[in-house]
Amino acid sequence: MTKIFLSPPHMGGTENQYIQQAFEQNWIAPLGENVDMFETAILDYTAGEHALALSSGTAAIHLALLTMGIGTGDSVFCSTLTFAASANPITYVNATPVFIDSDEETWNMSPEALRLALEDAKTTNNLPKAVIIVHILGLAAKLDKLVAICKEYGVPIIEDAAESLGSTYHGKMTGTFGEMGIFSFNGNKIMTTSGGGMLLTNSNEDREKAFYYATQAKEQAPYYLHLEIGYNYRLSNILAGIGRGQMEVLADHVDKRRAIFDRYSDTLADLEGVSMMPILPDTAPNCWLSAIRLDYSIISKSTKEIVAYMQERDIEARMMWNPLHKQPSFSESRCYQVGEENISEKLFEEVLCLPSGSSMTEAEQARVLEALVEILTA
């Protein structure tokens, strides 16, 4: 049997056309029409204001922090239930990460836990220089509350929408609510450029500053002059060609992933002890990944056991991220939570991510569901 992957790349067919165009024009270096048009396509799709195509989503977060002037002695608050790339750039600028627990309704940053952390920081006169809000699995966080709280304390937002391109909150695209927004085009994302990312900002000045850092901090001079340390973070014109083609099928791929979520939801609706990932009212997730949550008072198999069982049947499933405050690399970092129970730790134990690629056929999904129901009801 062909292996069913969690979220494989799904090409639309026109990507080669734009790549070939770059070869014909000999724009192989990180310059050229593909980069410009890819940035424009992202802005048109998201209704954003300024975009910068980069080598990765991680680079985009790093540049957001640099552009905000964050460095040694500063702190940055970040969702704890996320991939390490959301927080690693905080350490790149020698700032201190502080983690915020999830809530039950979104699995994303808890507004109540964020307020606790900000009030604590205010009493010590050490408010963070930014809050990184992550939309995991394509699910939107409670942006109205989170944005209002950050505004109350005067703290800017970096919106990590690496997994949520195409998701909307109250009709507005995720990635456009904060001072900075980032997307990822890694190979497993809803659209890919093989590797790549995008930085969104409301300020052309910030876009130019990020561009400066992304291109080795070269000064305008008749010779090579560098007053600051820069980075090689621009996206290749070749890879941007893939992005242009992917943008043409993005809406269709979002629809396909939502249909996959609906089929999982319909089939598993009557299975006791299993619930689907939560969706807030007036939001439309891109369903980058479909995930289920297990009630261990009813289900006897752990997510780890289910992953192994599915692997034996050539089906890739995955546990939720181990919260960052539990990672050895962040062992000295604090995590704020509401009450005695840490929600992110519970979600790590109870959530299972299922194959969700937009190229997955209904027959392949039926195979996934057959194996899943078999192990859950064993």
Return the CATH number at 132: 3.40.640.10
Closest CA to 278 of 149, 139, 155: 139
If you search the block for the tokens 């304390």, which residue do you land on?
Answer: 153
41/52 Cα distance (integer angstroms): 12
How many domains are there within the chain? 2
Which pTM value belongs to this model? 0.97
Q: What is the pLDDT of residue 29?
A: 79
Looking at the structure, do residues 254 and 206 belong to the same domain, yes or no?
Answer: no
pLDDT at 247 over 80: yes
Residue 106 lies in a domain: yes
Q: Provide mean pLDDT across the span 177-206.
A: 97
CB 304 within 8 A of CB 349: no
Residue 323 lies in a domain: yes
Active-site position among 189, 301, 304, 326: 189
Question: What is the bridge-based pairing of β-strands 290-294 and 335-336?
Answer: unpaired
Looking at the structure, do residues 67 and 185 belong to the same domain, yes or no?
Answer: yes
pLDDT at 132 over 90: yes
- Residue 151 designated active-site: no
Query: What does the CA dihedral 16, 17, 18, 24 come to, rounded to 10 degrees?
Result: 110
Q: What is the residue type of 130?
A: A
Residue 7 lies in a domain: no
Closest CA to 345 of 313, 321, 373, 376: 321
Looking at the structure, do residues 20 and 76 belong to the same domain, yes or no?
Answer: yes
Domain endpoint, select from 247, 270, 285: 247
Q: Which band of pLDDT confidence, cut at 50, 70 and 90, is reported for residue 249?
A: very high
Residue 141 lies in a domain: yes
Domain endpoint, select from 198, 219, 247: 247
pLDDT at 109 over 80: yes
Alpha-carbon distance values, 129 to 71, 74, 122, 176 (Å): 9, 6, 12, 19
Q: What is the pLDDT of residue 174?
A: 98
pLDDT at 1 over 80: no
Looking at the structure, do residues 94 and 185 belong to the same domain, yes or no?
Answer: yes
Residue 5 lies in a domain: no
Beta bridge partners of 248: none
Structural domain boundaries, residue 178:
15-247
Direct distance between the N- and C-terminal alpha carbons of the chain, in angstroms, rounded to an integer: 23
